[in-house]
Structure 1
Amino acid sequence: MERFKEKVVIVTGAGSGIGAATARRFSREGAMVALAGRTADKLEREAAGLPPLRTMTHAADVADPRAVDALVRAVLDRFGQLDVMVNNAGIHHSGQPDTTTDDQWRAVMAADLDGVFYGCRAAIPHLEKTGGSIVNTASVSGTGGDWGMSAYNAAKGGVVNLTRALALDLGRRGIRVNAVCPSLTRTGMTADMMHDEPLIAKFTERIPLGRVCEPDEVAAVIAFLASPDASFVTGAMVAVDGGLSASNGQPAQG
């Protein structure tokens, strides 16, 4: 299956986790892929297994709008067009609201929300030319609250409604905008949690499919949303959560 043959895709946060899995997925489906992230070495390691003529890396901090603009220019210089923008980069901070510092709050907002807006804004004129699409990585933490994660919840909630607003603004310009909302996923960001068996048991008890999500499973949904198979889908928040959001929060009976 080569749904993205001769298409150009940017994936931010592509040095690990969901971003790396997404870059691999698009590449397998024939795309020319630009892996973007803050750490060049991580990007190069992920790109090493991909076809060199269809792959590039570019170190950029999505919290810096000038760096995001430079990323898009570099991709256009290399591949000549842009068809899909995947805004996946993000960070996480846990803590009580009254102990969250200004710097911690701003760092999460800058990476998780500002960076998504900058990526969308930089991509729009080029996606308009190709009839392309945007897929943002939101979270179930953007559709409901968590304990001790106020900054992350606020940022991901912003991504959710930004995605909806952009779908309205850009639909008549031929650009679709959607988001994925994963639940707990096995990535470097969650590695410490994965070793805490009692904690993981609490998570999996709440998830109808009974396990955590794998990055490839999120990547598959991102690829679907960016593909012609989703040609009449825009403004959607697709839960990739094993059924977690289907629950009203009450415990299982029996």
Structure 2
Amino acid sequence: MAAPWDMTGKVVVITGGNAGIGLGFARGIARAGGDVVIWGRRQEKNEEAAAQLAEFGVRALPQSVDVADEAQVVAGMAEAVAKMGRVTGVIANAGVMKPVTSFLEMTNEAYHGLLAINQHGAFHAAREAARHFKARWDAGDQSGGSILFCASLSAVTGSPGMQHYNAAKGAMASMARGIAVDLGRYAIRANTVCPGYTISETVIDPGPDHPLGKRVREGTPIPRFGTPEDFEGIGVYFMSDASRFHTGDLVKVDGGWMANAGKSNIGALR
């Protein structure tokens, strides 16, 4: 058996993998020798990310896939398998963040529009990956596969004006546990990672003098915002054989925010 952290021969699909935390996951996997499939709606961004990853000497396939569209996910997974030979893991990371002023003003369109991407998109990607893993098992390849949901601390905390986001991220954690229990006998693993405040296209560090920047630093034992680089290692862990007996879990990568939660009361956002 290869060294547990060696990603050689692994192929990982990452939804929303062209920027932010998703690209952080992808970079870590590529550094460890794994091949990567980048899904996103902006093909030019997918291609830019794939070019960066190819510099590590691995294969990187950019695919234009809107995870909210079930047909696109089904076709995208089939194409990824055909072009890469197989898929060994998927990271369901694609998501949007669209807060409203108050739950009292949240419309049906806003609620279900966010769930279509953050929750239903994650379901589509995870299901298609699991179907592929099971098909490989039935064909004699019993190496299984790994599914990782990238949720948020909002999966376990409340956030004003973000109840749709809370619901979607909480559903990811519940879905992971259900998949773990249902499909573990096929060596299929499912876990959830919950980022704390992490710099991305939707989250910026406004600086230590800004109220948000100050409160994040004061409330986080490692007193800074997270960065996409902070997720390279955890992505490799869950996509590699290092985690082959780890399933149904939720792991927080938040600089200690939740361990120190009593010190700050602002809503936890990714």
- TM-score, with structure 1 as normaliser: 0.93
Residue range with higher mean Cα deviation, 154-163 or 93-102: 93-102
In structure 2, C-alpha distance between the alignment counterparts of 1:15 and 1:139, rounded to whole Å? 18
The number of equivalent residue pairs is: 250
Tell me if the contact between 2:92 and 2:150 (Cα under 8 Å) persists in the aligned partners: yes
Task: Give the corresponding residue for 1:244.
Answer: 257
- Alignment-mate amino acid for residue 66 of structure 2: D
Q: Confirm or deny that 1:123 pairs with 2:129.
A: yes
Segments of 5+ residues of structure 2 without an aligned counterpart are 137-142, 265-270
The structure where helix makes up a greater share of residues is 1
Deviation at 1:11, TM superposition (A): 0.6
* 2:84 is aligned with 1:72: no
The answer to whether the 8 Å contact 1:139/1:183 transfers is yes
8 Å CA contact 2:12, 2:239 repeated in 1: no
Identical counterparts, % of pairs: 34
Q: Over the residues paired in the alignment, what is the CA RMSD in angstroms?
A: 1.7
CA contact (8 A) 1:180 1:222 kept: no
Give the SS at the match of 2:251.
strand
1:155 match: 168
TM-score, scaled to structure 2 = 0.88
CA distance in 2, matches of 1:116, 1:33: 18
1:104 aligns with 2:110: yes
Whether contact under 8 Å (1:39, 1:59) holds in the other structure is: yes
**Aligned-pair CA distance for 1:101:** 2.1
1:12 pairs, out of 11, 15, 21, with 15
Bigger RCO (CA 8 Å, 6+ sep)? 2
Is 1:22 aligned to 2:25, yes or no? yes
Measure, in 2, the Cα distance between the counterparts of 1:233 and 1:163.
12
1:63 to 54, 62, 68: 68
- For 1:250 and 1:215, the matched residues in 2 are separated by 25
Give the 3-state SS of the residue equivalent to 1:190 in structure 2: coil
**What's the secondary structure of 1:76's corresponding residue?**
helix
The unaligned stretches of length 5 or more in structure 1 are none
Paired residues for 1:1-254 under 5 Å: 3-51=6-54, 54-95=59-100, 96-128=102-134, 129=136, 130-191=143-204, 194=206, 197-250=210-263
Deviations 1:161-213 (A, max 9, x none): 1111111111112101011100110111113x536822111122111111111
Q: Secondary structure at the match of 1:63?
A: coil
1:11-43 deviation digits (Å, cap 9, x = unpaired): 110121011111111111111211110100111
Secondary structure of 2:37's counterpart equals strand
| Equivalent residue letter for 2:239 | A
Would the aligned equivalents of 1:186 and 1:194 in 2 still touch at CA under 8 Å?
A: no
SS at match of 2:119: helix
8 A Cα contact 1:186 1:214, kept in partner: yes
